Amino acid sequence: MSSQVRAGLSRRSFLTGAVALSASGTVAMPRRSLAAAEFAFGAGQIRVFSDGHLTLPMGFVLPEQSAEEIAALLEPNGLATDVLTPDCNVTLMRSGDRLVLFDVGAGPNFQPTAGALAGALDDAGIDTADITDVVFTHGHPDHLWGVLDDFGDPLFPEATYRVPQAEWDYWLADETLSQTPDDRKNLVVGAQTRFETISDQVVMIRPGQEVLPGVEAVDTAGHTPGHMSYAIHDGSESLMIIGDAIPNSIISFQKPGWPYGPDQDQDMAIETRKRLLDRLATDGSRVIGNHFPHPAKGRVERATEGYRLVTG
């Protein structure tokens, strides 16, 4: 069975499992209340907000590993072996007269434990109308669906939305919807609805492009066809916002070669993950992962087995 077919089966199992968990009340718990992390970066400022967290059955996350392999990796790190509950983090950059969001969280219609960004911004005294730019890594629900408010209107009405061209092309292609299994079509329809709603404010991004001053688009395809990460440079400081290219601070670091269920092209995603970890460990850049434990920032170091995330 191909890795692509296995991924499809795992995703179908995930969606069924997520619905069942929601119905049972397992995931319908209050969103985690996590304070925004804030630090200076060059002449600007970075803040990492919590959008809540997800609940992912382990059979979806690690579809090819045995229970023994999973336990040997996760138990020493204090993680459950049946389900992952990764944090969802959204990065805000203040630079000059720009207020830039990298992804926008899940909004109210994905999982009940996610979608906290709008409230977190409000608590921080940030008006969504003051956001000048929204830069997307990819079109999965927990990164895109928060772009609309409860009435289906753009939550960031004054923003320019910067979208990887390959992501836009994939999600809006007629064949994407027609070739997607029925129980996953809602993911495609959700992406299409949101991209179409903001289409008048969209600027396309290509790999290697300077998206904004000091912000370079880095091709990290594999998790999705057009997944993009962003390297930010300000003087001698560097930071990379990696989306889901390195999705987990334990699994992806210690076992970068393990297939990861949410990846659409698992072989490409593994190569991307290995290449990116090597780059980050070599250049010493700070890194922010959308699903690393909040506040989600650190540096990558080589370890005896694979890599490790050094937080702070």
pLDDT at 187 over 90: yes
- pLDDT tens sequence across 116-143: 999 999 999 999 999 999 999 999 999 9
* Cβ pair 91, 47 in contact under 8 A: yes
**Cis before residue 141, ω within 30 degrees of 0?**
no
Residue of 68 and 8 predicted with greater confidence: 68
Q: What pLDDT sits at residue 180?
A: 87
Query: In whole numbers, what is the pLDDT of the chain averaged over residues?
Result: 90
CA 300 to chain centre: 18
Q: What pLDDT sits at residue 51?
A: 97
CATH number of 3-311: 3.60.15.10
Percent pLDDT > 90 in the chain is: 83
pLDDT at 276 over 90: yes
Q: What pLDDT sits at residue 32?
A: 53
| Backbone phi and psi for residue 195, each to the nearest 5 degrees, phi listed first | -65, -40
Q: What six digits make up the tokens of 274?
A: 């290995």
Average pLDDT over residues 75-101: 97
